[in-house]
Amino acid sequence: MAGAGPADSPVFAAAELYERISCPMWFVHTDDGPYADLLPGLERTAARPGRRLVRLDAGLHVEQTYPGEVARIVLDLRPSLGG
């Protein structure tokens, strides 16, 4: 790690943390790999207004194995940010 917060900093489960954030969010999730079983919880989290879930037929480290797809997702996000 490049750095870490104080040892007594609160630690939140991802779903709990997402509920505390009020800005728009896009989630990218893969259909394969070690985190594929987390999809149902992420679908519930992404169902709230201002959130979007993008699923990719890929596995772990999608930004390295499918950089073009990740770039497309980021470019698709730009209009919603006013850019």
pLDDT confidence of residue 15: 74
**4: left (phi > 0), else alpha (psi -120 to 50), else beta?**
beta
Residue 2 lies inside a defined structural domain of this protein: no
Asked whether residue 37 is domain-assigned, the answer is yes
Q: pTM for this one?
A: 0.68
Query: In the numeric block, which tokens belong to residue 38?
Result: 């987390």
pLDDT of residue 53: 92
12 within a domain of the structure (yes/no): no
In total, how many domains does the chain have? 1
In a domain, 50, yes or no: yes
| Residue-number span of the structural domain to which 60 is assigned | 25-81
pLDDT tens digit at each of 83 positions of the chain: 455 667 787 766 677 788 888 888 888 888 888 888 888 888 999 999 999 999 988 888 888 989 999 999 889 887 776 65
Helix intervals (H) in the chain: 14-19, 39-46, 62-65, 67-77
* Full DSSP string of 31-51: SSSTTGGGHHHHHHHHTSTTE
The answer to whether residue 67 sits within a structural domain is yes
Rounded Cα gap, residues 37 and 4, in angstroms: 28
